[in-house]
A and B are shown apart, each in its own frame.
Chain A
Amino acid sequence: MVKFNTICRSGQERSTNADITKVYRNPNPKVHPLAHAREYQRALVATKVEKIYAQPFLGALNGHSDGVSCIEACRFNLSKLVSGSYDGEIRIWDIPSRRTLIQLNAHQQMVKGVSFSRDGMRVVSSGEDKTINLYDFPQLLEQSNNTFQEPLMRYLSKGTLGNVDHNYQLSQFATAGQVVQVWDYERPKPIMKFQWGVDSVSCVKYSPADSNLICGTSMDRCVILYDVRAESAIHKVAMLNKSQCLAWNPIEPLNIVIGNDDSNCYTYDIRKIEQPTMIHKDHISAVMSVAFSSSGREFVSGSFDRTIRIFPFNKGYSREVYHGQRMQQVNSVSFSADAQFVYSGSNDMNIRIWKVNASQKVGTINQREANATNYRQALKEKFKYNPEIKRIAKHRHLPKYLMNKKKQRQEMKESKNRKQRNAELNNPGQYEAPKPEKQQRVEQFIQ
């Protein structure tokens, strides 16, 4: 038998565009009693489909011969990434081709920090060997085969160094360490030094919007704010655990996020640094690195528990968790400048590229596709409180060791609460009402 496919048309064929009869629809909700049910079903399908197509891992950049200690994506050029490792090697990567552009044996010891200038022309690195190297990017590209290139400038620090962060507007950069130092391109010695307290500072970051403000986290469990104009620190707050890393919100330059060793991230408002405005929980081990998306609406954190989590800037729990079988402790994370990708450098010598939205299609998207995804997202947003949809959207697969640890933590927390409750019940009047958690985490505010 032969099959025929036919197209049926009505008897009246239209000859001009004016012949089109408009179909009027009645928007009265009484006429559409099943709208809600249909949209619910669509939302359900959208959440399921999103889970099915979630493939966040895009690829790995391998080449380092030791664990990656620090990475930073270029703020100007989307395809460039600089990374430093524990053996003192610095590599600059071309992300689309996933290969090393420049390989440098920059430091004698571990590379503590790397940073691009805003225009992407300069690269600064600091090492444990108390040296800071300033490279010229075009010059580096010219002699890309030479691994022993001399830097444009080499600065020597008296004390040990922490990370380095380039100013967003000026030709200056700041280094952490025993003393917080601000350096200028043209001066061999630091133009400014900040020392307050005894212990060294592990991480400093410039405010992306305000070139005068520097925030740092110190080994004596403090978060300190410096003003370059005033040549002094402003104030600091001591927490219960030390913090390893911090990031400024680029869109709201009042807020910073710090990654703490108690496995939480804290959002602080620098105007009222007495207590955090929000605690972001989910990690199991110490948070090693945080980075803000350039949209300022979410940030990524890498942790010692071998996972990366993406948090909304105003939510207490993470939106997404990424992990891999071979991925070890994450030392450093970075957001791409267009807020589409996340890079993570870990102890297993690899740099990994992840999508920010796990199920988003990479590549060109036509208008119809974009509209459809928008509709799906809107539906998901609309029905996000629905128990079934919430359950599906929330579910993430975690490795066994994480699940066990999570369970254990939950049990510990519950037993602690139980103990507290029982103590209060048995000794009425002896206990005061417990402080809110945000206050509990802060030990002291020092002006």
Chain B
Amino acid sequence: MFYKYLFYYQFKYGLEKQLAKKVEKQDAYQQVKLQETPEDDFNVANLIQTLEDQGQQIESVKTQYLRVHEKAVSLLNQTQRIVQEPETQAERDLQERKVAATVMKQDIKKWLPIVKKNRESERLDFTKQRNVQISKISDTSNALLNNHLGVKLQNAMEEVEKVEQKQELNGQSNQQKSNLQFYNDLKMKKISSIKSKIYKQIKKKKGNKEKLKLMAQLTPAERRKEIEKLRLSRAKERITLRHSTKNKYVFQLLRFGGDKKSLKQQQSFLNNLKHQLLAKAQLNELEDGEFDEENFREQAITQLEQELLDIERREKEKQNNFGFLDKQKKQDLQQSKSIAQKLLTMLKSGNDDAIQLDESENQEQNSDDNYEPNENGDKDKTKANVENNEFNGRANFVNETKQLTEAQKKKIDAKTSLSNYLNLEPEKQQQPNKIEKQMTVQEEKKQLIEGLNIKNIKQKYEKQVNQKLTNQDLKKLQSDPDELLQQNLANFNLVLDEDENENAFIDEKIKDMEEELPPEPANTKGWGSWAGFGIKERTPLTQEQILQNKIKKIREVQKKRQDAKLDNVIISEKRDNKFAKYLVPKLPSEFANSQQFDQLHTLPLGPEWNSLTSHSALTQPQIVTKAGVVINPVKIPQQVNKLI
């Protein structure tokens, strides 16, 4: 019994002794450590020493051990009541290990601030032999607060911290602003990327309404200025537009001098005159009455004189800013002036032969005007051609059947000469088959773009333009042509557009589709030309078949395209890959979002784009080591060590 008690006693106090031993050892080690560790050149070190001289005691590892010891003893006391027998060796070892683990974990915490600081710091410089990052004073001790100097220092440090925090806050507000800006940009981008036609139409209508309101408030002179501005900007826009190839548009501008509408009016007016002449001649012919030449001449002369006056007025008008446009305008005006003057002189002199000659001259000029470099020809034109042929034929028939008086002959001569004016060149008539063939292809092409909006709108305005204008309308136009322009401002370009531009656009679209077609397999030699029994001869495809096949393929391509149903638009779906090499295909896992990544990577580092100091600061390596400089293991600063 006594033996058992002794054993228990030994066990109970043995553990206590062990712990006491440990504490002693720790103390001894601490002293050794203090002696060994060399002094760091830390400014606060002296301060802390003085503080310690004043007799301030700081918690140490010893207290930790004592605490653990107390706990262990209390645990033992608890178990004492239940367990009468001593624990096994394994159990005791486990207890010991647990104690050691808690102590180790406590002890190792001292490295955490240093490790944290090292990991967070942008640069680790090992060349200066000061690899230990000194933590803040507030972290190390509260004991400083008891000292005046310490308090002062503490306050100073806090103020510095406050300033730093303020700076951080400022940075945050700046960031907020930039974020807002960014959000706004995104929004605007989204709006601009809306593709809905209806949305854009509504937007456009709104804009137009507002513009009209503004226009209504202006005085006529100002209004004219505004319109001039609009016209200019529109002209500029037209030149830069993709589908109106620069060459053709500029070519057209050169031809019509920009102010094409008025020229068209003049031409239509002249045409009108001629038609009136023709109609009167016909009437006279049918009525068999005498042709009142003098009356007719007088009327024509007065109208021509009016026209001349108008031309002069137009010449005096302000010029556009485009030099080439002005030149062209002048030329065109001079041309029409010369025509009108010739007509006048002819009418005044009363020489009918001269009229004939003159008309033929005009015809040549006009045939030059009808620029049509392609042999394909226009649909409308060919139609006109056919009609004219019929007209001509009827005239001939009349010539043959009727025996005519001299006066009648004169009239008919005048008529035929005018009708000749409307004829096309004989060269085109000689090759009708060729034109027809090309026509079919052209029609096919046109069918590709089904339900063109342009076409419908255009037909409307063509009707308006081709309407026979009464004298009142003409007078109105002459008095204020800008008024009408203002009315039809939105459709100004449509009126300007001729078939050619439209065709060019369609051609371009088809060309775009053709490029998308898969490449045809190259003909290898001998491939497909087999010989032997039972082999049927294949007839090679005709040009037409090849064309039709191609058209089929294009139709298939067209279905897949984004702009299949958008007639006035070519959407290029080709992606430009040239810039791809500068981009990263996937967001690296280190970054939360692409904005973060971009922000870090938009700043150039080179000396060309930075000042020398910032360049060197930006390009400093994260870890600086130097050959020959020994890097020591991390060490807790002495003053911190003392406090622990």
Which residues of A line the B interface, CB within 8 A? 27, 29, 32, 35-40, 42, 75-76, 78, 168-170, 196, 208-210, 212-213, 225, 227, 229-235, 250-254, 270-271, 294-297, 337-340, 362, 371, 374-375, 377-379, 382, 385-388, 447
Contacts and interface: CB of A to CB of B under 8 A. Distances in A.
B149 to A, nearest CB: 31
A29 B634 contact: no
B100 A230 contact: yes
Among B99, B582, B588, which residue has the most Cβ atoms of chain A within 10 A? Answer: B582
A367 B306 CA distance: 88
A252 B25 contact: no
Given A36-B604, A169-B36, A230-B103, 20 more contacts: A29-B602, A36-B602, A40-B581, A213-B104, A231-B96, A233-B97, A233-B100, A235-B101, A253-B634, A295-B623, A296-B118, A297-B623, A337-B631, A339-B631, A374-B619, A378-B605, A378-B618, A386-B581, A447-B94, A447-B98
B628 interface: yes
A36 B582 contact: yes
B365 to A, nearest CB: 52
A447 B97 contact: yes
A251 B627 contact: no
Among B96, B620, B621, B633, which residue has the most Cβ atoms of chain A within 10 A? Answer: B633
A375 B608 CA distance: 12
B582 A227 contact: no
A377 B618 CA distance: 11
B633 A294 contact: yes
B108 A250 contact: no
B601 interface: yes
B615 to A, nearest CB: 8
Interface string B106-123: 011001100100110000
A377 B97 contact: no
Contacts of A35: 604, 606, 608-609
B560 interface: no
23 contacts: A37-B582, A40-B581, A42-B606, A169-B33, A209-B635, A212-B29, A227-B100, A229-B29, A230-B103, A231-B22, A231-B96, A234-B100, A252-B118, A252-B634, A270-B108, A295-B623, A297-B623, A339-B126, A340-B625, A362-B627, A378-B618, A378-B620, A447-B98
A227 B633 contact: no
B558 to A, nearest CB: 36
Interface string B602-644: 1011111110000110111101011111111111000000000
Contacts of B635: 209
Contact of A375 (B32, B98, B103, B606): B606
B585 interface: yes
Contacts of B101: 234-235, 447
B97 A254 contact: no
A335 to B, nearest CB: 10
Contacts of B93: 196, 232
Contacts of B99: 230
A225 B336 CA distance: 108
Contacts of A250: 631, 633-634
A76 B629 CA distance: 10
Among B25, B99, B105, B605, which residue has the most Cβ atoms of chain A within 10 A? Answer: B605
B621 to A, nearest CB: 6
A362 B615 CA distance: 25
B26 interface: yes
Interface of B: 22, 25-26, 29, 32-33, 36, 93-94, 96-101, 103-105, 107-108, 111-112, 115, 118-119, 124, 126, 131, 581-582, 584-585, 588, 601-602, 604-610, 615-616, 618-621, 623, 625-635
Nearest to B118: A251
Contacts of B111: 209, 252-254
Contacts of B94: 447
A38 B606 contact: yes
A295 B631 contact: yes
Given A252-B115, A447-B98, A78 B582 contact: no
Among B126, B610, B620, which residue has the most Cβ atoms of chain A within 10 A? Answer: B126
B252 to A, nearest CB: 35
Given A252-B115, A252-B118, A375-B606, A338 B633 contact: no
Nearest to A294: B631
Contacts of A252: 111, 115, 118-119, 634
A371 B619 contact: yes
Nearest to A273: B101
Nearest to A36: B582
A359 to B, nearest CB: 14
Contacts of B620: 374, 378
Given A229-B22, A374-B619, A385 B605 contact: no
A340 B581 contact: no
A270 B606 CA distance: 43
A379 B605 contact: yes
Among A233, A296, A386, which residue has the most Cβ atoms of chain B within 10 A? Answer: A296
A227 B118 contact: no
Among B96, B103, B604, B628, which residue has the most Cβ atoms of chain A within 10 A? Answer: B604
A417 to B, nearest CB: 21
A213 B582 CA distance: 50
Contacts of A339: 126, 625, 631
Contact of B104 (A40, A234, A374): A234
B631 A338 contact: yes
A18 to B, nearest CB: 20
Contacts of A233: 97, 100
B604 A227 contact: no
B634 A32 contact: no
A382 B605 contact: yes
A225 B29 CA distance: 20
Contacts of A337: 630-631
A36 B33 CA distance: 55
Contacts of A294: 126, 630-633
Contact of A338 (B602, B615, B619, B630): B630
B584 to A, nearest CB: 5
A227 B618 CA distance: 44
Contacts of A388: 581
B633 A387 contact: no
A312 to B, nearest CB: 10
A338 B629 contact: yes
A414 B607 CA distance: 48
Contacts of B618: 378
Nearest to A335: B631
A374 to B, nearest CB: 4
A385 B607 CA distance: 23
Contact of A39 (B605, B629, B632): B605
B598 to A, nearest CB: 11
B115 A374 contact: no
B582 A386 contact: yes
Contacts of B610: 27
Among B584, B626, B630, which residue has the most Cβ atoms of chain A within 10 A? Answer: B630
B22 A230 contact: yes
Given A27-B609, A271-B108, A378-B619, A209 B582 contact: no
B29 A382 contact: no
Q: Lowest 8 CB-CB distances: which A-B pairs, in order?
A: A230-B100, A208-B633, A294-B631, A250-B633, A378-B619, A35-B604, A337-B630, A374-B619
Nearest to A297: B623
Contacts of B107: 210, 212
A315 to B, nearest CB: 11
Contact of B626 (A27, A212, A338, A374): A338
Contact of B606 (A39, A169, A234): A39
A294 B127 CA distance: 12
A253 B111 CA distance: 7
Given A169-B36, A250-B633, A387 B604 contact: no
A234 B610 CA distance: 55
Given A40-B582, A232-B97, A338 B36 contact: no
Contact of A297 (B124, B607, B627): B124
